[in-house]
Amino acid sequence: MIVGVDVGTSMTKADAYDEQGNKLASAERASRLEQYPDGRVEQDLEEIVASVADVVRRVVAGAGDREVRALALTGQGDGMWLRDADGAAVRPPISWLDDRAGDVVRGWQDDGTLAEVYRRTGAGLFPGCHAPLLVALGRDEPESLERAAVAGYCVDALVQRLCGEITVDASDASLPFLDVVSRRYDDAAIAACGDTAYRGLLADPAPPGALFALDRRGAEIVGLPEGTPVTGGPFDLPACAVGAGLSTPGDGLVIIGTTLACEVFTDRVAPDDPDDADGPEPAGMWLCTPDEGMWLRAMPAMVGTAGLDWLLDFLGVGIEALPALLEGTRPGAGGVSALPFLASSGERAPFVDTRARGQIEGVTLSTHRGDVVRAVCEGIAYTAKHCFERAASSVDRAGTLVACGGGSQSGPWAQIFADVLERPLVVPDDPGLGTRGAAMTAARALGDDVDPAAWAAPSRTVEPSADAHTCYADGYLRYRAHVDTARGFWARQAQGFRRGHSPA
């Protein structure tokens, strides 16, 4: 069997699969984020390693102690996981949600650096990615960079700890400095960001199909034999796409998880021209996949289910209350509308704006809690439509659209997504496609002939409702206008604060 491990932002999961892709056992363990009032968001590498050890041991025991052919790793991307030569953290890993480099990104928007990097790599920079984080750490705590041997990501931090290898998957390295066609770093993009001094901290991407092996330390951590093959990536966005069985240009995936990620397979890399005054602004990313001739055009918004979780907690209820809250509400949420930009670092897709903040409008004394909840669910679905409009510009046709992540398992919310997107939505019964995609990648690396259809989880299809078409078509236009108005307000508000007063 192959054990797939997905280290998410809020949960570490492990699933064991047999050679036909049948799931044999599962285990999970919650992860902890340290969120500070100033916008810093960090994790604990030792806690993450312990969570991996825990779920791997439990899933192996649950599968009847079968022989493990490979350990397949995937997990959250972006952020910065600084380690020394032995794989120990030189400072707490910085989450992709972190905002300490927000001022750097704002400065780059003004001076053209964002456009220059996008022109070279197709990467829309945001505060929680390597380029501005290196600058912020060089300014605020240069000693951390001096002690580090590698500036990596979550998945390669685990590979180093378990296998003793300093490496990175090309999918992780895609943002922000990689030329995703050649799979080599673009030194001019690194220089444009002022990060040339830190070039030595960037590990060269491993070739597709690379296999590593548990060393003695790694074997003791996870309780598997020394020498057990290990794969390190792709990270969770492309791993979910692989797990969904998608590979044809135009096929798409919406991950309704902690983050809302919208991605489309493509066989060509063609970033928008940032100098086109009428074109879209730099945002999103192009991601390498295990297939060297295929890429993902990805638009990962900052907040997905995390926004709904915040609202439900604010209302004093749990996620189990969602169906009852939505029952009896209708498309349009009784006139309530929401902008779901709740991350302290702002938004990164389908636009980059570090000042973006959430809003709820249209509330009256007759508004019910369910209306507000539905408005947030609809707002996140509108964001997905906006993201897909950007991502789909790189392909010539619309293929199969699959939804995964915890939010996809809510029948009413999945219906909202199908209605807003105006497309049939294939929803696998198993929302955890990350571990499945990691296991499929490992099976191929071992030389197996993997049939995506055979590995696919059972699914259902949610058809868009004709009755909701007019409401959501009009609602989306209002949402886009609301976003444009809000962005102008956020900019004026920031200018007012810089002058020392609140704007009128």
Helix or strand run (H / E) with residue 221? helix 216-222
- Between strands 2-7 and 425-428, the pairing is unpaired
**Which amino acid type is present at position 290?**
P
Cis status, amide bond into 234, omega within 30 of 0: yes
| Candidate from 124-138, 285-299, 484-498 with smallest mean pLDDT | 484-498
pLDDT digits (tens, 9 = 90+) for 352-386: 999 999 999 999 999 999 999 999 999 999 999 99
Residue 499 confidence (pLDDT)? 57
Q: In the sheet that 260-266 helps form, which strands lie side by side, from edge to edge? A: 285-288, 295-301, 260-266, 252-256, 401-404, 425-428, 459-462
**Which amino acid type is present at position 451?**
D
pLDDT band at 395 (very low <50, low <70, confident <90, very high): low
Q: pLDDT averaged over the chain?
A: 94
pLDDT digits (tens, 9 = 90+) for 405-432: 999 999 999 999 999 999 999 999 987 7
Residue 394 confidence (pLDDT)? 64
Residues in the chain: 504
User: What DSSP character marks residue 199?
Assistant: G
Residue 272 confidence (pLDDT)? 78
Residue 504 confidence (pLDDT)? 43
Quick one: 262 exposed, middle or buried, by C-beta within 10 A (0-12, 13-18, 19+)? Answer: buried
pLDDT band at 453 (very low <50, low <70, confident <90, very high): confident
What letters, b where the CB count within 10 A reaches 16 and e where it falls short, cover 98-125?
Answer: bbbbbebbbebbeeebbbbbbbbbbbbb
Query: Model's pTM, two decimal places?
Result: 0.93
Please determine, for residue 502, whether its predicted confidence score (pLDDT) is greater than 80: no
Residue 281 confidence (pLDDT)? 85
Mean pLDDT within 275-298? 89
Residue 494 confidence (pLDDT)? 72
pLDDT digits (tens, 9 = 90+) for 190-230: 999 999 999 999 999 999 999 999 999 999 999 999 999 99
Calpha distance 154→48 (Å, rounded): 9
Token pair, residue 254, equals 């919406």
pLDDT band at 391 (very low <50, low <70, confident <90, very high): confident
pLDDT band at 501 (very low <50, low <70, confident <90, very high): low
DSSP-assigned states of every residue in 356-402: ---EEE---TT--HHHHHHHHHHHHHHHHHHHHHHHGGGSSS---EE
Tell me the Cα Rg of the chain: 22
Residue 503 confidence (pLDDT)? 47
* Selection from 95, 90, 57 nearest residue 79 by Cα: 95
pLDDT digits (tens, 9 = 90+) for 74-116: 999 999 999 999 999 999 999 999 999 999 999 999 999 999 9
User: What DSSP character marks residue 145?
Assistant: H
